[in-house]
Structure 1
Amino acid sequence: MNYSTQMDAAKKGIVTREMKRVAEKENMEVKKLMELVAKGQVAIPANKNHKSLDPEGVGSGLKTKINVNLGISKDCYDIDLELEKVKKAIDMKAEAIMDLSSFGKTAEFRQKVINISSAMIGTVPMYDVVGLYDKELKDLTEKEILQVIENQAKEGVDFMTIHAGINRATAEVFKRNKRRMNIVSRGGSLIYAWMQLNNKENPFYEYFDEVLDICAKYDVTISLGDACRPGCVSDATDAVQITELIALGELTKRAWEKNVQVMIEGPGHMALNEIKANMVFEKKLCHNAPFYVLGPLVTDIAPGYDHITSAIGGAIAASYGADFLCYVTPAEHLRLPTLDDMKEGIIAARIAAHAADIAKGVKGAVEWDNKMADARQKLDWEETFKLSIDPEKAMRYRKESTPECDDTCTMCGKMCAVRNMNKVMGGEDVNIL
């Protein structure tokens, strides 16, 4: 192998196995894909040690991808359940899974996930630091924090959220600009607390070159974390968020100089009318790097329904240029998601992603809808189920309420517009009574 990363290969004009596979999935010429990877406008997160991976591309001109969060916590330490979620997420065609485990020795669980997952795997190394060393936050050293990145890279993690943008300069802007919700990023709050407790610079920022060397060695894509993302609509698009975004744009250039692939993480809570502008800001300030949005949740008042608030925002964000949606479940802000919560979150995110792909004119996106329209016009229920984003639910609803006539449903019965138009246009009588 005479290249270090996918970006390095692309700059050298080398078509990798991963590029071929992504081009095939996206119905794109591999040469065009290679050019986008070389520019940093597409990332192919593919750790050299993730042998079970079926690679995906994230970025310009490609289908919008979705990520599923899962992992163990101190209060919910059920490894078997989390592995069941991994398998279900893959079955439901999620392109990425982030292990956000935050308790105990997580390496064994993470290795199992990497071994079985064809989806790309992401992590937030900062979550793992306290549990790995059995130390309080303030007692951790810079070397120990960076070692976690090396450990996870060696295991086969494809992309990592690195909160490098909340440096001392960004922290000062945060202190001067009061927010309703302060810092809501878990990883961001941990690194900010470490900085304050030790009166030091953010180690991810100070030793960013060392982080890049690790990522280049294993071809780990850096997902530059938005530690200062808004946690409520009131905090959106403020000085702190934009200051961090500018820093992330500068870090992006440094990563690309070392052939490390980059994604940028974006806002959490945000009013509908601010989403388009935020997509423009990100693409401009971060040089058209792929954008990974955590929502956006378009209102703060829907606990139990935040998969819906997120899907609304995600569809709008992706239609204006976001490339990667992090799913949100009905359990957001309330508890660790169950398997059923996860299913609902995946479906909501996939709907949002597909709706955006239609709006963006992604090649082949609308063909799925056209096939569904044809099946409905023919009242072909079996084909309708087959084409459904959730066939199981569609079939269950149909069976739970049986109509008098097979070519109708219990909503309209013989008044069904499709049924009657088919009859009239076919020269048949319409018998409603």
Structure 2
Amino acid sequence: MTLVLAARAGKITPEMEWVASRENVDVTVIQKGLAEGTIVIPRNILRKDFNYTGIGQGLRIKVNALIGTSSDRIDWEMEERKLANVEEVGCDALMDLSTGGDIDGMRRLILSKANIAVGSVPVYQAAVEAIESRGSIVDMTADDMFASIEKHAADGVDFMAIHTALNFDVIKRLQTSGRVTDVVSRGGAFLTGWMLHNELENPLYEQFDRLLEILKKYDVTLSMGDAIRPGSTADSLDGAQLEGLIVAGELVARAQEAGIQVMVEGPGHVPMNHIEATMLLQKRVCHGAPYFILGNLATDVAPGYDHITAAIGGALAGATGADFLCYVTPAEHLGLPTEQDVRDGAIAAQIAAHVADLAKGNKQAWERDLQMARARVALDTDRQIELSIDPEKSRAAFSQKGAGGHCAACGEECASDVAAKYFGIG
């Protein structure tokens, strides 16, 4: 029985209790959200006792990280260190996007080591294997795609990005939309090329019930991939994006009816004046399903700093409806991320999520900020380090300034000390 069907049957599961405890809410809030489709808890039935996380309405905004091998870099030890890094800085989930080397072995290693939800994109592996066995992605078959999905599910993957909301109507709209960047989603590009070459409908759309059967068997959360997402601010909210969103909404309703956990992936490049409208449209069209976004990147002109542009957009997106932020690293648009890039991207996304939680009035977020303010007034450096999003960096900074407990800006003439001395504050 899936978590959705359990919730609808009035059952309280250990996963619901775990999430309710972390969120400091009554477990019936989680049960109701699962039953209605406004909350998901990515958890494959084959994986037990990891740090479950709830994503969706009324919960703290969560952060996802990306790791994995490629044909240009196959270093399992590095990917293990990246995994340790993203868990250390508090990411709630990660996705294995491996496309090089022993893809199965890398995924299974991550699943064995991770203490957080693990996602994947099965069509990546199906495409790579089609190249290896038949010489081309367009020679991939529908059975190849579904076999890859089944294999990932059987290995224990908790959520999968699957590009179901792509059909010929969406492609036709794309061809007439005047888009600048066409298709920037890797999975979307694979499928678009396959469809146009073979003159066949997307199997992941056409055989959606077949997909739901696999997901239901393992209670894998469907993360509906945004195959047609805009890859530049110029393309935000164009006809192709909106057409894809309408298709996604129709499929969300079918998945929810079947008792499948489902969230919807959203765009990366969105100018700030489009962000709120994008969030409202998704929630309206997709029946309140949790929204999983890449960024949002609020500008296209900051290569090397896209973790910052994504944090700016992500904070506003989270405050206006997004539930799950996929981090963006400084290496976005430039190359493969290093371990430091991964850490920087994860921390930037954590900051964005916390800022958005504050804007939404989340009690846990406000309490953390309040405790930090009090620790600063008390010159309690240990408590400030403990409360900071990046304790390692805070600890290093405090150790460099020497003894005395004063900040570099004020020195011994600390504003808090002066106020306490002359005005009786403290």
Shorter-chain TM band: over 0.9
* Aligned pair partner of 2:45 in 39, 48, 62: 48
| Residue 359 (structure 2) aligns with | 359
Partner deviation per Cα, 1:20-42 (whole Å, 9 max, x = no partner): 11111111111121011100000
SS of residue paired to 2:354:
helix
Structure 1 residue 17: Cα displacement: 1.1
One-letter amino acid of the counterpart of residue 152, structure 1: H
Give, in angstroms, the shift of residue 52 of structure 1. Answer: 4.8
Aligned to 1:188: 188
User: Residue type matched to 1:411 in 2?
Assistant: A
Separation in 2 of the partners of 1:262 and 1:248? 11
Q: Which moved more, 1:51-60 or 1:325-334?
A: 51-60
Instruction: Kindly provide the amino acid, as one letter, of the partner of residue 300 in structure 1.
Output: D
Which TM-score applies when normalising by structure 1?
Answer: 0.95
Q: Which amino acid aligns with 1:264?
A: V
How big is each residue's C-alpha offset from its partner over 1:267-307, in whole Å with a ceiling of 9 and x where there is no partner?
11011011001110000000100000111100001011000
1:129-151 deviations in whole A, cap 9, x for unaligned? Answer: 13334231111111111110000
RMSD in angstroms over aligned alpha carbons?
1.4
Unaligned runs of 5+ in 2: none
Which residue pairs with 1:120 in the alignment? 117
SS at match of 2:148: helix
> Are the aligned partners of 1:7 and 1:37 in contact in 2 as well (CA < 8 Å)?
yes
Kept after mapping to 2: 8 A contact 1:52/1:117: no
Partner residue in 2 for 1:131? 128
Tell me what 1:7 maps to. 4
Question: Are the structure 2 counterparts of residues 104 and 196 from structure 1 closer, same or farther at C-alpha, using a change threshold of 3 Å?
Answer: farther
Classify 1:427/1:293 alpha carbon distance in 2 versus 1 (closer, same or farther; 3 Å).
closer
| Deviations 1:343-376 (CA, angstroms, capped at 9, x unpaired) | 1111100010011111112232200000000001
Distance 2:267 2:128 in 1: 28
Per the TM alignment, residue 230 of structure 1 is displaced from its structure 2 partner at its CA by: 1.0
Give the unaligned 5+ runs of structure 1.
Answer: 429-433
* Partners of 1:153 and 1:263 in 2: CA distance: 17
Q: Indicate the SS of the match to 1:389.
A: coil
Matches within 5 A, 1:340-351: 340-351=340-351
Large movers: runs of 4+ above 4 Å: none
Whether contact under 8 Å (1:71, 1:102) holds in the other structure is: yes
- Contact 2:89/2:389, CA 8 A, preserved across alignment: no
Compared with structure 1, are the counterparts of its residues 261 and 427 closer, same or farther at alpha carbon in structure 2 (3 Å cutoff)?
Answer: closer
AA at the equivalent of 2:143: K
1:263-282 equivalences in 2 (<5 Å): 263-282=263-282
Local SS of the residue matching 2:337:
coil
Q: What is the TM-score when the length of structure 2 is the normalising length?
A: 0.97
1:75 corresponds to 2:72: yes
Aligned residues: 423
Superposition deviation, residue 427 in structure 1: 9.1
Which of 75, 81, 86 lines up with 1:89 in the alignment? 86
Give the drift of 1:409.
2.0
| In structure 2, C-alpha distance between the alignment counterparts of 1:427 and 1:149, rounded to whole Å | 62
- Distance in 1, Cα, partners of 2:20 & 2:391: 28
C-alpha contact 2:74 2:101 (8 A) present in aligned 1: no
Greater shift in the superposed pair: 380-389 or 315-324: 380-389
Distance 1:427 1:149, change over 3 A: closer
Contact 2:55 2:290 in 1 (8 A): yes
Secondary structure of the corresponding residue to residue 66 of structure 1: strand
Query: Within 2, Cα distance between the matches of 1:386 and 1:129?
Result: 44
Distance in 2 (CA, whole Å) between partners of 1:50 and 1:191 is 30
AA partner of residue 116 (structure 1) = K
Tell me the CA shift for residue 394 of structure 1.
1.1
Structure-2 residue corresponding to 1:160: 160
Counterparts in 2 of 1:387-426, with a 5 A limit?
A: 387-402=387-402, 406-426=404-424
Show the counterpart of 1:292: 292
How far 1:49 moved relative to its partner? 1.1
In structure 1, what is the Cα distance between the partners aligned to 2:54 and 2:354?
16
User: Does residue 34 in structure 1 map to residue 31 in structure 2?
Assistant: yes
| 3-state SS of 1:313 partner | helix
How far is 1:105 from its partner?
Answer: 3.1
* Structure 2 counterpart of 1:164, one-letter code: T
The CA deviation string for residues 237-280 of structure 1, in whole angstroms up to 9 with x for no partner, is 10000110010000001111211110011111011011001110
**1:294-330 per-position Cα deviation (integer Å, ceiling 9, x unaligned):** 1110000101100000000000000001000000111
State how far apart, in whole Å, the 2-side matches of 1:337 and 1:120 are: 21
Q: 2:408 corresponds to which letter in structure 1? A: T
Distance 1:390 1:303 in 2: 23
Question: How many angstroms apart in 2 are the aligned matches of 1:128 and 1:164?
Answer: 16
